[in-house]
Chain A
Amino acid sequence: MGSDLFEISVNLIKMIIIFVMMVQLVPLLVWVERRGSAFIQNRLGPNRIGPLGLTQLLADAVKFIFKEEFIPEKTKKFIFYAAPVVSLIPAALAFGAIPLSMPINIEAFTMFGESYGPYRFAFQSFELGIGIVFVLGISSLGPYAMLMAGWASNNKYSLLGALRACAQSISYELALGLSIVGVLLLYGTFDFSEMIAAQQGPLNFMWFGKEVTLGFLPNWGIFYQPLGAIIFLTAVFAETNRTPFDLPEAEAELVAGYHTEYSGLKMNMFYIGEYGHMMAASALMAVFYFGGYDIPFVTAEDVNAGVTWFGQAIDPLLTTVASWAPFVGDSLAEALGFSANKAAIGTAFVFHIAMFAKILFFLWVFVWVRWTIPRFRYDQLMDLGWKTMLPWALFNTIITAIVIFIMRTNWS
């Protein structure tokens, strides 16, 4: 976790910030969902409260908080309360394992008269060598929250919704896991950072032992694994129980599925879990197939040079303004002054914006699809998972293995 107090505290704060970021993105996404649906259906949507209806989020939050605390009779109280909390854990842990930007290398510096050694901070809650396996394992714990909620509610709609959700997400987990085999074959690693590193630069691959470079395309996984990307995206829709796969909460049949008996903030926490899952899925999609935090045709050195130029340009201005401050002027000027460490942090944030843009794009795809495609029937859903997507994922794996074998073998 860290060698000294400074590193440990930075890592802890980073972890909490990433989690809070995930939680705070949820109301924003709800707003996007509502405005987006209105946009798609040629309506106005919530536009009265604040600019573009943005403060609607605050009103919703206040409404959620000031709801009556209520549980129906004959529920298993402990599990009923534990389910929403448990639903947060898989999403938070999965999202925390994905790198959101390049690691920050901090050189040795002095602060308050004490020197701190060089550090390396990863832009994620925790770095794991087995990234993918961990994320898959953690997100396979998702059904527990639903099962707990469905069983503890003592309501037949809840239980049916939970069982449906569970059967559905395990059916699509097969296609999901199998589509990732193609990615693993391509990069030969479980580590997200190594995957992103492999996707830098222009498109280049081995063609019968020779190296071919196509300069006009970035070296992203989507060009090697188009079928895998489609299967992965579809499976992720089913895993997160989004339309067209939202059978667990099919309103016409099951009232609201496994959270029928939930109200107020307890229900909201299920939404946080669901949207957190969507964020983790979008981030995975970006890492596997769209280069992660990679910006096409721009290297880390370029960005660092740009940030350094900008920092040095505004450096005199900042230090002059800071030195006007009474008493603390000198130390403030020193704190605001430009340094290589700040350039490293700035570079990481530039790449973070790139990653975030990709995540937001896929989140918008989630909303877009929800208001475009109608819901499947349950037998169609299971047929699609087992009889269409699983065979296609198998086909993708076999073709990838054969092509990689032919391309990478030295035939001379």
Chain B
Amino acid sequence: MNSLAPIIALTIFVVLFGTALLFLVSLVGPKPKNSDAKNSTYECGIDVQTTGHSKISVRYYLTAILFILFDIEIIFMYPWAIAYGDFIKEGQGLYMLGAMGVFLLIFIIGLVWEIKSKALEWD
């Protein structure tokens, strides 16, 4: 609980620092007139053809959702990795290795399937 106060304090400090910097810098510096050409969205000098939000490949979505699934599996290995040494000392090392082995096997089957099914291909 005591370790949270500095985290919040640092977050607030960083936000204040950034905001103050942006604000102070906006006071100095030249303020020339704006024109239509200058205000327009940057598109390599030509007139803007479409809106900024065009449709995008579904692969980004697929990558993100596969990432979530694998990320959860990896997170589940962390407590195991932490407690592994203790379990070995208590003579339960083989059990722990087997328990995670089954889990890892499922992980590997999933990964191999993803690669074989060409879900991760970018062309």
Contacts and interface: CB of A to CB of B under 8 A. Distances in A.
A188 B19 CA distance: 41
B1 to A, nearest CB: 10
B104 A126 contact: no
A189 to B, nearest CB: 7
A271 interface: no
A397 B86 CA distance: 18
Contacts of B22: 81, 84-85, 265-266, 269
Contact of B122 (A73, A155, A188, A378): A378
Size band of the A side of the interface? 35 or more
Contacts of B43: 155-157
A174 B13 contact: no
Nearest to A178: B74
Contacts of A96: 6, 10
B15 A89 contact: yes
Contacts of A409: 88, 91, 93
B85 A93 contact: no
Nearest to B11: A89
A154 B88 contact: no
Interface stretch (A34-42, A165-173, A210-218): A165-173
Interface in B59-102: 60, 63-64, 67, 70-71, 74-75, 77-78, 81-86, 88-89, 91, 93-94, 97, 100
Interface string A142-177: 000000000001111111100100110011011001
Given A65-B28, A386-B120, A408-B88, A171 B21 contact: no
A314 interface: no
A93 B12 CA distance: 11
A66 interface: yes
A53 B6 CA distance: 38
Interface string A177-194: 110010011001110000
Interface in B1-24: 2-3, 5-7, 9-11, 13-15, 17-19, 21-22
A269 B41 contact: no
A157 B84 CA distance: 47
Nearest to B27: A69
A12 interface: yes
Contacts of B30: 66, 68
Contact of B97 (A16, A65, A261, A405): A405
A155 B32 contact: no
A262 to B, nearest CB: 10
Interface in A340-360: none
B97 to A, nearest CB: 5
A390 B120 CA distance: 13
A409 B97 CA distance: 12
A73 B41 contact: yes
A138 to B, nearest CB: 9
B106 interface: no
